[in-house]
Amino acid sequence: MAPTTGPGRTPTQLDQGADTKGGVGESPLRPDGTLKVTGEFAYSSDMWHEDMLWGCTLRSPHAHAEIVSVDISEALEQPGVHAVLTYDDLPTEMKNYGLEIKDTPVLAHGRVRHHGEPVALVAADHPETARRAAAKIKVDYRELPVVHDEESALAKDAPLLHPDRDDDHARHVPHPNVVHRQPIVRGDAGAAARRADVIVTGEYEVGMQDQAFLGPESGLAVPAEDGGVDLYIATQWLHSDLRQIAPVLGLPEEKVRMTLSGVGGAFGGREDLSMQIHACLLALVTGKPVKIVYNRFESFFGHVHRHPAKLWYEHGATRDGKITHMKCRIVLDGGAYASASPAVVGNAASLSVGPYVVDDVEIEALALYTNNPPCGAMRGFGAVQACFAYEAQMDKLAAELGMDPVELRRRNAMSQGTLLPTGQAVDSPAPVAELLRRVKAMPLPLEAQWETVGGEPDVRALPGGLSNTTHGEGVVRGVGYAVGIKNVGFSEGFDDYSTARVRLEVVGGEPVAMVHTAMAEVGQGGITVHAQIARTELGVAQVTIHPADTQVGSAGSTSASRQTYVTGGAVQHVCRLVREQVLERGRERFGTYHPAWASAELLLEGGKVVTDGGEVLASLVDVLGDEPVEAEDEWRHRPTEAFDLKTGQGFGHVQYSFAAHRAVVEVDTELGLVKVVELACAQDVGKAMNPQAVEGQIQGGTVQGLGLAVMEEIVVDARAKVRNPSFTDYLIPTILDTPTIPVDVLELADEHAPYGLRGAGEAPTLSSTPAVLAAVRAATGRALPRVPVRPEHIVEV
Amino acid sequence: MRVTFTVNGRRHEADDVWEGESLLYVLRERMGLPGSKNACEQGECGSCTVRLDGEPVCACLVAAGQVEGREVVTVEGLAEYARERDGSEGRGSTGDLAPVQQAFIDAGAVQCGFCTPGLLVAADELIERNPQPTDADIREALSGNLCRCTGYEKIMDAVRLAAARADDSAPEVV
């Protein structure tokens, strides 16, 4: 029996009223701002329905084990329990899901491949009842040996994670425990190395970082009269979820109606499914609405993480600081399931040389299947790991040459027209040298800011902070620089489109535009920008943002720094279709009254149709009358193509984003504690669509990079078990750990992109980490080849 | 068990409360006040910060039974709380929002917004206690509130803005 009422709280249209201004290039307030500061914004974990049940997941305590038996009888007998589901209850032949490769079981069958893999589900009338019932499910495991690094994964007798894999990469990988491998060869690195006056090599390591979005995985599934289900959910891409959910439920896609609920951050961690299918299954089986909300412990197991990586690099240079060649090998740990690993490999390989001119390269990047936690998308996506290593190499090379590290970078900086290792020319501005010049030119923060007038030092400004570990003794300042390159949009031939629906009508005597897309607003402010685009293109003040749902076509993913470019591009395109219809209607109705209707270039401005000379021809209210104008269309950026599997050559990326950082740190060299004093950033964004939001992206990305530099790591032991799944043990930067972040925004238009904009969200996450490490190296003289850097690395206890 | 306490000036009652339920759960799931957020449920992130008899606390770490007969202010009641404290003449308040709420919107301190309710309650309490905080004071007072989106710079701007707008001796800050 489906419930007869709707949820008690649902996402609403966002409307800012008639006095709201702000087109492209301005910084109007967020349409959801008031709801968010009053506590009324409906996040996915706030969904509520009368008579709803709570779902709970039982997860594997082992990283690799055979499931000998599962006994749910005692759990089912608990008062208040409505359903207990295992693999045997899955309704169709489709038991798996996955972004590209459907290798992830909805519920484990016969074998668990990583710590925390879902095994069973419970629905009960109270979350604690559900948790206690789940604890009464008896699962008999037989532990299996784990593979947890390259050596164990590629050993001759290594257990295979997916022995029957038949995905597209299976044919070309050197070992079944390699998800995907991408070599890139260009020029002749061996010959070029002989021209080098100096050669530096290095082995680097990046730990497993977590997205640590604050809003936990959560949602509400409501069974519907027609046998379908309504799902209120926080995700990065509704339609990608839908294509994975519907086949498992055995429902046509139109019977799985999804509405985006408030998303508490994402950063890549919501690209993969978490509780979506589980909540729908429980709702369909019980006939009741089911809410699932992960707690923080479960959240650490409920989403993929950033790939940890090992990277080997060799660079050569002539005495005058020109790089002769680069060789590298990047091994990413993809964990137990594929997730986004193939695309992460493509990024790591194609961007492994960084924003530099290097004609002779030998590159290999690959991702492993192991029993470690699955890894996939996180802000920076393959480019973060490479940037940490190539920027450390630049500093090493500069030291070897006795050259200033910024000068070395400047001499090798790419610019418009430079060929990437893939042979693809960078065909829009690439102001790498200019960004470095700008961060270097910023005034340095004052020395010893902890000193107060005649008093005790302010320990809050010292390494160790309120732990009161130093009053300045042993504290050494260091300054470091880094710059990075990130691709924007989905690459390698993916059909990366977006859909928008725009309606213009008269409401209460005013023209109002309604923008409806399926774009996931995850905090970035895409909805603010959509309203700005509609105001600019349609000349209206009032814009209403329709909730994102699957009643409109796909908007693609809120990832890869792509949404302002692609869904923004779709909104711009469709607004222009609406404008053409409005003008056409104006010509029909009023064309005979004024010759300019036929001859002049016409614009929509200030609620009126005007000529390019500024003459008003009619008001939008008069042209529209009581008949709305509506249009919907898809919009695509330029197509890309796959990288050649052997040479890595190909037009793989559509756009690039560049940022540079200067880090100033103070290190307590006796205790190994780091205080980041300032982290300045310069970034080219093409066009700052909303300058305030752009700064927010740059500062937020910068601090995630700081976290990776000095504190953030999911610790996985040799048995592939996660040791620190909590905010007590996995630390992210607090406001006390965070420095001032001066931002210098450059706007060099990319002629291929809407308004000339450049995707901005990820680039600042890249260069932040290596800049901090460079500064810590400068302060300590240590090599520090691994992030996050820990006190014991600095003081070598 | 039944628990009765005052939330945002109104008496609330909840029945059939299990002894292990937190104040956060009762607010969110039994009293229809989901503004306080559930990001970690272990007192690390501050997203559930509320005032309990005036003290800022993590509602996830307070058992609902401990709140019997006491007074709670959540983000939903922050505007009214500030109005009563500051008087309707209080500077920096705009319409239905507390000054700190308006400052967060104006300064761009809200992205995903999940940390916002807890930060607002904490920042409002800071300015109440210390109307002209230094940057170091702000960082110390808000160090129990994690934000993953903003890098905290706009949050600093927002608190500075709220404090400046509330300062009668200072020129008007827009």
Judge: A696–B151 Cβ closer than 8 Å, yes or no: yes
**Pick from B145, B95, B51, B82: which is nearest to A733 by CA?**
B145
Instruction: For residue A556, give the CATH number of its domain.
Output: 3.30.365.10
Instruction: Collect all residues of chain B within an 8 Å Cβ-Cβ radius of residue A733.
Output: 152
Strand ranges in A350-466 using DSSP code E only, listed in sequence order = 361-368, 375-376
A643 touches A350 (CB < 8 A): yes
At a CB cut-off of 8 Å and minimum separation 6, what does A402 contact? Answer: none
Judge: A36–B152 Cβ closer than 8 Å, yes or no: no
- Closest-approach residue (CA) in chain B for A48: B29
In the prediction, which pLDDT does A16 show?
Answer: 84
Task: Establish if A136 belongs to a structural domain.
Answer: yes
**Both tokens of residue A55?**
């779902």
Judge: A696–B111 Cβ closer than 8 Å, yes or no: yes
Query: How far apart, in whole angstroms, are the C-alpha atoms of residue A228 and residue A252?
Result: 9
pLDDT (average), residues A413-436: 98
In the prediction, which pLDDT does B173 show?
Answer: 58
Task: Establish if A129 belongs to a structural domain.
Answer: yes
Helix residue ranges, H only, B14-172: 23-25, 78-86, 99-107, 116-129, 135-141, 153-166
Q: Which residue segment(s) compose the domain that A248 sits in? A: 45-144+216-263+270-302
- Closest-approach residue (CA) in chain A for B105: A33
Judge: A33–B156 Cβ closer than 8 Å, yes or no: no
Judge: A264–B20 Cβ closer than 8 Å, yes or no: no
Query: How far apart, in whole angstroms, are the C-alpha atoms of residue A631 and residue A634?
Result: 10
Read off the pLDDT band of A17 (50, 70, 90): confident
Whether the predicted pLDDT of A797 surpasses 70: no
In the prediction, which pLDDT does B169 show?
Answer: 61
- Label residue A194 exposed, middle or buried (CB < 10 Å: 0-12, 13-18, 19+): exposed
Domain edge (last residue) among A636, A661, A689: A636
Which one of A29, A523, A704 has the shortest CB-CB distance to B113? Answer: A523
**What does A50-119 look like in DSSP terms, one character per residue?**
TT-EEEEEEE-SSSSEEEEEEE-HHHHHSTTEEEEE-GGG--SS--EE-SSS--EESS--SEE-STT-EE
Task: Establish if A192 belongs to a structural domain.
Answer: no
Task: Establish if A505 belongs to a structural domain.
Answer: yes
- Which residues, numbered 102 to 161 in chain B, qualify as contacts with chain A under a Cβ-Cβ cut-off of 8 Å? 102, 104-106, 108, 110-117, 120, 136, 138-140, 142-156
Judge: A126–B110 Cβ closer than 8 Å, yes or no: no
In the prediction, which pLDDT does A563 show?
Answer: 98
Which one of B32, B105, B111 has the shortest CB-CB distance to A524? Answer: B111
pLDDT (average), residues A728-740: 97
Instruction: For residue A293, give the CATH number of its domain.
Output: 3.90.1170.50
Which one of A37, A128, A461 has the shortest CB-CB distance to B136? Answer: A461
DSSP class of residue A239? Answer: H
Query: How far apart, in whole angstroms, are the C-alpha atoms of residue A218 and residue A123?
Result: 14
Instruction: Collect all residues of chain B within an 8 Å Cβ-Cβ radius of residue A49.
Output: none
Instruction: Collect all residues of chain B within an 8 Å Cβ-Cβ radius of residue A698.
Output: 151
Instruction: Collect all residues of chain A within an 8 Å Cβ-Cβ radius of residue B60.
Output: none
Q: Does B48 touch chain A (CB under 8 A)?
A: no
Read off the pLDDT band of A453 (50, 70, 90): confident
In the prediction, which pLDDT does B12 show?
Answer: 97
Q: Classify residue A368 as left (phi > 0), alpha (psi -120 to 50) or beta.
A: beta
- Which domains are seen in chain B, by residue range? 3-76 (3.10.20.30), 78-166 (1.10.150.120)
Whether the predicted pLDDT of A164 surpasses 80: yes
Instruction: Collect all residues of chain A within an 8 Å Cβ-Cβ radius of residue B145.
Output: 734-735
Task: Establish if A296 belongs to a structural domain.
Answer: yes
Judge: B34–A736 Cβ closer than 8 Å, yes or no: no
Domain edge (last residue) among A636, A656, A691: A636
A 10 A CB-CB count for A486 gives: 32
In the prediction, which pLDDT does A333 show?
Answer: 98
Judge: A264–B156 Cβ closer than 8 Å, yes or no: no
Measured in angstroms, the CA of B123 and the nearest CA of chain A are apart by 12
Judge: B36–A39 Cβ closer than 8 Å, yes or no: yes
**Pick from A464, A330, A353, A499: which is nearest to A413 by CA?**
A353
Query: How far apart, in whole angstroms, are the C-alpha atoms of residue A703 and residue A714?
Result: 17
Query: How far apart, in whole angstroms, are the C-alpha atoms of residue A55 and residue A118?
Result: 13
Instruction: Collect all residues of chain A within an 8 Å Cβ-Cβ radius of residue B96.
Output: 38
Provide the number of CB pairs (under 8 Å) joining chain A to chain B.
183
At a CB cut-off of 8 Å and minimum separation 6, what does A600 contact? Answer: A611, A612, A613, A615
**Both tokens of residue B138?**
């702000």
Measured in angstroms, the CA of A292 and the nearest CA of chain B are apart by 13
| AA letter at A550 | T
**Both tokens of residue A548?**
């994102």
Measured in angstroms, the CA of A741 and the nearest CA of chain B are apart by 7
Query: How far apart, in whole angstroms, are the C-alpha atoms of residue A497 and residue A153?
Result: 37
- Closest-approach residue (CA) in chain A for B157: A740
Q: Rounded to the nearest 10 degrees, how much is the dihedral formed by the CA atoms of A594, A595, A601, A604? A: 10
The count of C-alpha atoms lying within 13 angstroms of the C-alpha of B78, restricted to the half-sphere facing its C-beta, is: 34
Judge: A734–B39 Cβ closer than 8 Å, yes or no: no
Cis-peptide into B34, omega within 30 deg:
no
Task: Establish if A281 belongs to a structural domain.
Answer: yes
In the prediction, which pLDDT does A20 show?
Answer: 81
Q: Specify the 3-state DSSP secondary structure of A515.
A: strand
Judge: A524–B140 Cβ closer than 8 Å, yes or no: no
Instruction: Collect all residues of chain A within an 8 Å Cβ-Cβ radius of residue B124.
Output: none
**Both tokens of residue A527?**
């909805």
Chain segment A209-252, per-residue pLDDT in tens? 999 999 999 999 999 999 999 999 999 999 999 999 999 999 99
Read off the pLDDT band of A9 (50, 70, 90): confident
Whether the predicted pLDDT of A1 surpasses 70: no
Read off the pLDDT band of A454 (50, 70, 90): confident
In the prediction, which pLDDT does B93 show?
Answer: 55
Read off the pLDDT band of A14 (50, 70, 90): very high
A 10 A CB-CB count for A280 gives: 28
Determine which helix (DSSP H) or strand (DSSP E) holds A310, and give its type and residue range.
strand A309-317
Based on the structure, what is the number of domains in chain A?
Answer: 2
Query: How far apart, in whole angstroms, are the C-alpha atoms of residue A545 and residue A515?
Result: 5
Whether the predicted pLDDT of B63 surpasses 80: yes
DSSP class of residue A522? Answer: S
pLDDT above 90 covers what percent of chain A?
A: 96
What ipTM is given for this predicted complex?
0.97
Q: Mutation target for A interface from B37, B47, B101, B114: give the one with most A CBs within 10 A.
A: B114
In the prediction, which pLDDT does A5 show?
Answer: 67
Task: Establish if A631 belongs to a structural domain.
Answer: yes
Q: Does B93 touch chain A (CB under 8 A)?
A: no
Given the DSSP bridges, would you call strands A608-611 and A602-605 parallel, antiparallel or unpaired? antiparallel
Task: Establish if A326 belongs to a structural domain.
Answer: no
